[in-house]
Amino acid sequence: MKADFKTIALVGKFNTPACTGSLLRLADFLGKRGHVVMLTAHTADSCDLREYPVASLKEIGGQVDLAIVMGGDGTLLNIARSLADSQVPLIGVNQGRLGFLADVSIDTMFTTLDDMLSGQYVAEDRIMLEASVERHEDVLIASYAFNDVVVSKSTMGRLIEFEVYIDNQFVYSQRADGLVVASPTGSTAYALSAGGPILHPTLEAVVMAPICPHTLSARPIAVHSNSEIEINLIHASDARVHFDGQLHSDLMVGDRVVIRRARRTVRLLHPEGHNYYDTLRQKLHWGEKL
């Protein structure tokens, strides 16, 4: 596959100065390969790096051909949402713990990235969600979510009650701690902990997984990714909606959370030979003897 990544953005884990050395070495490596290196503003500030051009996340999307994200999956989720409208492909270098998305090992990153930047990579387009919170006729907040949109109880710790509609058809009313609506990428995150199925990341589907439902008959379901999912809050002392566990907004009784497939996709670049099932086996410890 032909690669033409003239200008590359480097993104470090937010507020983590410990990544400074790795970022400097990577920037030097890219410069020697002939790439123009830019840093996001928060990366430059967090790591006190001033040797390279700096731009905000809002600005950098239109100036780079690729973003290399050093951190964990949480860092990559944030950058995926921020750069979604720019359609900048992403490579994740894992400095976190799990690494479902950031699958380039920091121990071998120079060899791996040299191959990938020479065109030896696998490109994968993954769907995103977009959701809005509507109160009466007003939209209070709207955001992308790469992993999931979660409606849940907040600090009070009491069950909430909500109704769910799919494509304007009533599905059920539910008393629970909440509901996870996850993309295939997010099916291995919160939705998995809530008992949901693992979806291959290329599936055209979305998971709905109740969180600690009051009735044992409530089960996760998967619906087509083109479905519009509406969650109406019927009763709650304290409730919130979360986007990828990183953005949130308080909810009131009567609020509607409307979730759709986003028009944009996220393009992830993996090392050549990437196999999703290898990732699952490694990260979930399948087949290991107890």
Chain centroid offset of residue 35 CA: 27
* Helices H / strands E in the chain, number of each: 7, 18
| Statement: residue 125 has pLDDT above 70 | yes
The mean pLDDT value of the chain amounts to 92
How far is residue 182's CA from residue 106's CA, in Å, rounded to a whole number?
28
Domains and CATH numbers, the chain: 7-119 (3.40.50.10330), 128-263 (2.60.200.30)
Q: Give dist(CA 255, CA 231) in Å, integer.
A: 8
Burial of 116 (0-12, 13-18, 19+ CB in 10 A): buried
Question: Residue 245: which pLDDT band, with cuts at 50, 70 and 90?
Answer: very high
pLDDT category at 154 given cuts 50, 70, 90 is confident
pLDDT tens digits, one per residue of 175-221 = 999 999 999 999 999 999 999 999 999 999 999 999 999 998 999 99
Whether the predicted pLDDT of 156 surpasses 80: no
- The reported pLDDT for the residue numbered 216 is 87
- Active-site annotation, residues: 73
DSSP state of 56: -
Tell me what pLDDT residue 290 has. 65
Say yes or no to pLDDT of 16 above 60. yes
CA 248-245-276 angle, to 5 degrees, is: 150
pLDDT of amino acid 17: 66
Predicted local confidence at residue 58, as pLDDT: 86
The predicted structure's pLDDT at residue 181: 98
The per-residue pLDDT for 47 is 77
Task: Report the alpha-carbon distance of residue 132 to residue 33 in Å, rounded.
Answer: 43
CA distance 112 to 125: 20
Buried b (16+ CB within 10 A) or exposed e, 166-201: beeeebeebbbbbbbbbbbbbbbbbbbebebeebeb
Task: Report the predicted TM-score, pTM, of the whole model to 2 decimal places.
Answer: 0.93
Whether 164 contacts 229, CB under 8 Å: yes
Q: Is the pLDDT at 2 greater than 60, yes or no?
A: no
The 8-class DSSP code of residue 27 comes to H
Least confident of 17-31, 116-130, 194-208, 222-236: 17-31
CB of 11 closer than 8 Å to CB of 45: no
Weakest-pLDDT range from 48-57, 86-95, 212-221: 48-57
Is residue 259 predicted with pLDDT exceeding 90? yes
The pLDDT value given to residue 96: 64
Q: Is the pLDDT assigned to residue 3 strictly greater than 90?
A: no
Q: What is the mean pLDDT of residues 21-39?
A: 93
Average pLDDT score over residue span 71-94:
93
